[in-house]
Amino acid sequence: MRTRPGPRSRTRTRLFSGLGATVLAAAAALTAPTTAQAANLLTNPGFETGTLSGWSCSGGLGSVVSSPVHGGSKALAGAASASDNAKCTQTVAVQPNTAYTLSGWVRGSYVYLGVTGGTSTWTPSATAYTKLSVSFTTGASQTSAQIYLNGWYGQGTYYADDISLDGPGGSSDTVAPTVPANPASTGKTSSTVSLSWTASTDNVGVTAYDVYQGGNLATTVGGTSTSATVTGLNPATAYSFTVKARDLAGNTSAASAPVPVTTDNGTPPPPGFKQAAPYLYLGWGEPPAPATVMSATGIKWFTMAFILAQNGCNPAWDSQRPLLGGVDQSTIAAIRAAGGDVVPSIGGWSGNKLGPNCSTPEALAGAYQKVIDAYGLKAIDVDIENSDEFENATVQDRIINALKIVKTNNPGLRTILTFGTSTTGPTSWGNRLIEQSKALNANIDVFTVMPFDFGGGADMYGSTIGAAEGLKTKLKSVFGWDDATAYAHLGISGMNGLSDQQEVTGVDIWTRIRDWSNAHHTARLAFWSVNRDRPCPGGGVVETCSGIAQNNWQFTSITAGFTG
């Protein structure tokens, strides 16, 4: 653990790392500094949006909490660790050679408030909210300043609220962003509405979008987002939403075209199997203790991967670990002891699979039955991929017939088929899988598509919804179902963070996908994987983290909100 700081240690390089190019002049300027006029320049200064909009926190360690607060109903919590001081920053436009006052209310041990490259203040121990305040004067050519809050290494969580930077905004930029175009509703429930729009442009850059419900600010998202979800709405109520873009200097665009939306009436969703079950893999990626994740997120189901073939037509975890007596059985027992359950995933992209190794549907059904009996399962998932199973008509039919057999022999068992997709719905092999499921009367409960690996730069929300809607249309065509019934047999299994093809499914996108799934009462929501549900911005595609900025288990927490 690092040495606890004293008053002389506040100029440590690490503490003030950030905008090295921003220099706040301490020496006298050629002209006397302008006096700041009282006006808070910060976005989301009291965190009342319920998000970190406008702020950036290191290590994904910042969050918004409802208690303890100083004013309003929200505050910032920075979970400083032994290796990260949970530094949260915001950059604003300022005027050169001008006096400003920075203040805020903080609570915790060794909490700092300051300006990167300039002055700061701190408190060693604040058991109740304490006000910190500093004044500074900008340099002769300075047009931006980065303010920061942070705790100290190993000193635990700090809290901050009602932060204020008083003074005139930067006056060099007077050009407002363009109006957000193509606003639309992308999903709704009885209490939420999800919206999207086309990004605005600005001569400097868009820093935020403000979403209004009528004339009231409903929520704010960062300038790189083109979507938002408004919560806390009333059932069966008509609303109208508009969006405005805002830049660093505080210039605001005109309002977008209004989006009229009527929330759902709150009636129960269609009956059927509903499952929020992210993948947990014990084969790599520092698998977390499932009870810890369950306690932190509220998740109840996990999709356990992968069961493959060992010595012919015998099921084993990763073709190596026995069904009973090992870490997999003890993990399933721990999940159930915590009030949850599992659905094993049989197959996957690679490895020695049961489908090709079991020579008949009856033999394959016997292998599935060993897995069902080992754990007393309520559901099984066959992840049918690659040319050895998915793109093989003989093996496709063998899997479908085997699932038909085990469903007949195990009343109440739910069967799931998971397979790849195009951005507009099932491929020709996916279409065949659905058609044969009908022709062979297999009574499959859920058809789940995996909408990722389309290629870098893909619109992951649009592509995912396009794939799901295409699947819905195919299910309607083959089975003669209406929309509601088709959605109730449909699942989505995504990939959190950075995918193999360099696509990015961020927290906001996954939230929108979850909201769309709830609004359409689909059957299943999963992602690959809980092992990767940890932050590592710029970390690439690795097995232990998502490659993006997020909080620990944030995708799992979002998924736990799927109710169908």
* 453 vs 391: CA distance, rounded Å: 17
Asked whether residue 515 is assigned to any structural domain, the reply reads: yes
Q: Last residue of a domain, which of 134, 166, 198? A: 166
Does residue 268 form part of some domain?
A: no
Indicate whether 546 and 447 sit together in one domain.
Answer: yes
Per-residue confidence (pLDDT) for residue 281, from 0 to 100:
96
- Give the pLDDT score at 172: 60
Is the Cα dihedral 411, 526, 529, 384 positive or negative? positive
Looking at the domain assignment, is residue 174 inside a domain?
A: no
The verdict on residue 414 lying in a domain is yes
CA 434 → CA 189, 397, 438, distances in Å?
29, 11, 7
What is the reported pLDDT for 204?
Answer: 78
Asked whether residue 38 falls in the same domain as residue 87, the answer is yes
Question: Which are the catalytic amino acids?
Answer: 385
Range of the domain at 194: 181-262
Tell me the C-alpha distance between 392 and 172, whole Å: 64
What is the identity of the amino acid at 281? Y
Please name which of 490, 435, 433, 429 lies closest in space to residue 465, comparing C-alpha atoms: 490
Asked whether residue 171 is domain-assigned, the answer is: no
Judgement on whether residues 292 and 394 belong to the same structural domain of the protein: yes
State whether residue 432 is helix, strand or coil. Answer: helix
Residues 158 and 281 placed together within one structural domain of the fold: no
> Is 148 domain-assigned?
yes
Q: Are residues 246 and 370 in the same domain?
A: no
21-45 core/surface letters (b: 16 or more CB in 10 A; e: else): ebebbeeeeeeebbebeeebbbbbb
What are the structure tokens assigned to 183, written together? Answer: 């606003």
- Any residues with CB less than 8 A from the CB of 235 and at least 6 apart, and which? 190, 191, 263, 264, 265, 266
The verdict on 140 and 258 lying in the same domain is no
173 domain-assigned: no
Residue identified by tokens 């396009």 is 466
The position carrying tokens 């990015």 is 504
First to last CA, the chain: 45
Please count the structural domains in the chain.
3
- Looking at the whole model, is its pTM more than 0.75? no
Burial level of 3, CB count in 10 A (0-12/13-18/19+)?
exposed
Which of 166, 195, 227 is at the close of a domain? 166
Determine what percent of the chain falls in helix, strand and coil, rounding each to the nearest 5.
25, 35, 45
Query: How far, rounded to the nearest angstrom, does the alpha carbon of residue 140 sit from its chain's CA centroid?
Result: 42
The pLDDT value given to residue 267: 60
- Amino acid letter, 253: S
Instruction: Tell me, yes or no, whether 202 and 346 share the same domain.
Output: no
| CA–CA dist 60, 549 (Å, integer) | 6
256: domain CATH number is 2.60.40.10
2 domain residue, yes or no: no
Q: How many helices (H) and strands (E) does the chain have?
A: 10, 27
Strand pairing of 341-348 and 379-384?
Answer: parallel
Asked if residue 296 and residue 248 are part of one domain, the reply reads: no
Same domain flag for 67 and 190:
no
Consecutive sets of 10 residues in the chain, 564 residues long: mean pLDDT of each? 33 31 34 52 91 87 93 93 90 88 96 94 94 93 90 94 87 83 87 91 88 91 88 88 88 94 71 90 94 95 97 97 96 96 96 98 98 96 97 98 97 96 97 98 97 89 96 97 93 96 93 93 97 93 94 96 91
468 and 334 in a single domain? The answer is: yes
The answer to whether residues 248 and 315 belong to one domain is: no
DSSP alpha helix (H) spans, 494-538:
507-519
Last residue of a domain, one of 166, 190, 206: 166
Same domain, 131 and 246: no
Question: How far is Cα 171 from Cα 193, in angstroms, rounded to an integer?
Answer: 36
What CATH number is given to the structural domain containing 72? 2.60.120.260
